[in-house]
Amino acid sequence: MDEEKKSDIMETDATPAPASPPAPEPPLTWRDGTIPLLALGMAWLFWACFGLENLTWPHLGILALVCAHFAAVLIALGRRVHISVGSLFCTAAALALALSCALYASAELLLMNCLVILLTAATATFALSGHLEPGRSRALGDAVALSFIALFSRVDRPFRSLGQLRRQKGGAALGRAALAVLVTVPVLAVVLWLLSSADAVFGSLLDPLRVDFVPGRTIWRILRIVLAALFIASALCFIREEPPHRSEKPAGERRAAAFLPVTVLLDIVYLVFCTIQLKYLFGGAEAASMAGGWAEYARSGFFQLAAVAAIDLGLVLLGTDGRRFASRGGKLLRAAFALLLVLTAVILFSAFWRMRLYILAFGMSMLRLLTLWAMAAIAAGILAAGWKLIRPAFRAVPAAGAFALTLWCVMCLANPCGMVARYNVNGYMSGSLSQLDADYLARLGPDVLPALPPLQQAGAQGQDAFDGIVRQLRHTNAGVPWTQWSLSGYRSGLDAGGVAQPVEFETGEHGGYKTILWDGRTYAPYGTLAAGRIALGEKLGCLRQDEEVMIYAVGTADTDFWLAEYTDEGWMDDPPLVYRALDAPDDVPVPEGVDSLGYDIWQN
């Protein structure tokens, strides 16, 4: 009897349990419906800023794109957003850097800020969604990894949402409406283009829309917007649907043997090096008597020393991460790390001292300013690492990173190019700098203009330097897309007296030729500038009838007699067209590099 019961029990256990019905799909909400629209809008804005047809740097476009990004993230998350000190800090840092891009026109600074904004915005996004905590040492690496996962893991989500929409109540009608829109828009666009091409009067009615419809180009633009929108929608769906999870490896006692030998050897090498620095660099007369003096001795080496300090800091932060220094080897390693930090501080101070001597002798530059920022960030890292040796639970990497990012934001918002120009101008005015590199200041762009007025009180040489820089920087935002607008670019359209420079040129007709009207003069076509765009002078403005056509000075020639017309988006081998004033004297010299085309208007 017992055996029969056992067999019945075994048969009962072997019977598979009935499969549970699949969980019903959560109904789509209005937030799910806005994600494709948000993705399309952000994709259009992205290509408006970084279009492939005209590779220029956006300024105001960066601010608009970052603001749109965080707005889309907040809309997609809704009440699921995670507000913390770290997420707010990263969001504020990304917005501050984007604001600096719109304020200042420096292309070099914008290029660096694009990378910093990308990393900071990614960290802020996944902190807001709850997928990572910015206070962790691996937060930046996790943000990069999550970005790739988010962009590609749910590319098919919009198509699955359409299928789910059709199965919901009332979804069929919405599906038909969406299909009607998808069919109507391209058909209407093609018909309007055909009709405007067939009839010029009808086409003029579409001029206010400024529609540049070329079939191949338009199809490519639509395809790239849709493709980018799919990846953006995938990322928005990921942060909305993926459950938050954080993985942090538990802290453990690493073997001291992995770090102790290299740390001890570095300590020995740095002891010798620091002894030399104390004797020669800070040794007074003996250092000054070396070849070239103090500045010459300090002229090279600060970049290498700053790199060495950064390597040492990385070694200490890596070796102290997750370590409690409880064992005998751990205590010995902590002592070696402490000595290494002290010697690294001496090396960093040596690099700073060399840089200081070089700046005093030759002035400030953007590269030297960035080096000073890096030294300050490394110094903060040394202090954070030293505190971690005392308090192992202290998060040194996030603290040092937060300080470096804050210092970077402050520097970018304070107009670094203007800081460089202000230091050099003040040094030239006080006599500590024997000469002023006006060409370098002009290359920094219109951000330097607020620092230049003191040069007008520096005599004839100072006035000449002021006039030369202002002449090269007197351009405006006229004729550029709104994405490339910047505040300093707008201000550069004003001369020293605050009078707006002409930014739009009228056109006319004389003897069958198109003419340019400016400042009471009429300019007619004369020839071409054989050297091409490189021989153009300052940009004066654009044509009122066509803002893509720029008007330039012809090298250093007098603009009372000579102007040049050039389209920035034109082919590289199209030479600028040179115009000559009709009332120019017969003996006015032809600028170098101008080839006459023999127009009959000049044969009389």
Output the DSSP codes for 232-278. Answer: HHHHHHHHHHSPP----PPP----GGGTHHHHHHHHHHHHHHHHHII
DSSP 324: -
Q: Rg for the chain (alpha carbons), in Å? A: 33
Q: What is the pLDDT of residue 413?
A: 94
One-letter amino acid at 102 equals A
Helix (H, G, I), strand (E, B) or coil at 602: helix
Picking from 381, 397, 414, the residue at the C-terminal end of a domain is: 414
Confirm whether 7 is domain-assigned: no
Most confident of 314-328, 470-484, 523-537: 523-537
Q: What is the pLDDT of residue 526?
A: 92
For the chain, what's the residue count? 604
Q: How many CB atoms lie within 10 A of CB 240?
A: 19
How far is CA 359 from each of CA 71, 363, 364, 499, rounded to the nearest angstrom?
43, 5, 6, 36
* Higher per-residue confidence, 422 vs 323: 422
Q: Is the pLDDT of residue 403 over 90?
A: yes
The reply to whether 396 and 457 lie within a common domain is no
Q: What is the pLDDT of residue 500?
A: 37
For the chain, give percent helix, strand, coil, nearest 5. Answer: 65, 10, 30
Confirm whether 22 is domain-assigned: no
Average pLDDT in the chain: 76
How many helices and strands (H and E) does the chain possess?
Answer: 21, 8
The CA-to-CA distance between both ends of the chain, in Å, stands at 131
Confirm whether 100 is domain-assigned: yes
The reply to whether 164 and 313 lie within a common domain is no
Q: What is the pLDDT of residue 438?
A: 82
Confirm whether 24 is domain-assigned: no
- Give the integer Cα–Cα distance in Å for 487 and 469: 18
How do residues 154-213 score in pLDDT, each as one tens digit? 887 776 766 555 555 555 565 566 666 666 766 776 777 677 667 666 666 665 554 555
Q: Is the pLDDT of residue 543 over 50?
A: yes
The reply to whether 385 and 261 lie within a common domain is yes
The reply to whether 468 and 582 lie within a common domain is no
Give the chain's domain count: 4
Query: Mean per-residue pLDDT for 127-156?
Result: 85
Q: What is the pLDDT of residue 412?
A: 94
pLDDT confidence tier of residue 301, bands split at 50, 70 and 90: low
Contact predicate 562/577, CB 8 Å: no
pLDDT confidence tier of residue 498, bands split at 50, 70 and 90: very low
The reply to whether 433 and 516 lie within a common domain is no
320: Cα separation from own chain's centroid: 33
Q: How many CB atoms lie within 10 A of CB 180?
A: 10
Confirm whether 497 is domain-assigned: no
The reply to whether 269 and 148 lie within a common domain is no
Q: Is the pLDDT of residue 495 over 80?
A: no
The reply to whether 219 and 271 lie within a common domain is no
Q: What is the pLDDT of residue 289?
A: 43
pTM of the model: 0.70
The reply to whether 405 and 423 lie within a common domain is no
- Residue indicated by tokens 């006229």: 478
One-letter amino acid at 29 equals T
Contact predicate 354/298, CB 8 Å: yes
The reply to whether 454 and 517 lie within a common domain is no
The reply to whether 99 and 179 lie within a common domain is yes
The reply to whether 321 and 179 lie within a common domain is no
Q: Is the pLDDT of residue 250 over 60?
A: no
In percent, how much of the chain has pLDDT > 90? Answer: 13
Picking from 393, 414, 435, the residue at the C-terminal end of a domain is: 414
Q: What is the pLDDT of residue 408?
A: 95
Confirm whether 21 is domain-assigned: no
Picking from 491, 523, 549, the residue at the C-terminal end of a domain is: 491
Confirm whether 294 is domain-assigned: yes
Q: Which two tokens stand for residue 110?
A: 């914008």
Contact predicate 236/35, CB 8 Å: yes
Sort strands 539-543 and 504-510 into parallel, antiparallel or unpaired.
Answer: parallel
List the domain range (segments joined by +) for residue 142. Answer: 30-241
What phi, psi does 411 have (nearest 5°)?
Answer: -65, -45
Most confident of 10-14, 166-170, 444-448, 521-525: 521-525
- Give the integer Cα–Cα distance in Å for 365 and 355: 11
The reply to whether 213 and 79 lie within a common domain is yes
Confirm whether 362 is domain-assigned: yes
* Higher per-residue confidence, 570 vs 159: 159
* Higher per-residue confidence, 124 vs 165: 124
Q: What is the pLDDT of residue 494?
A: 43
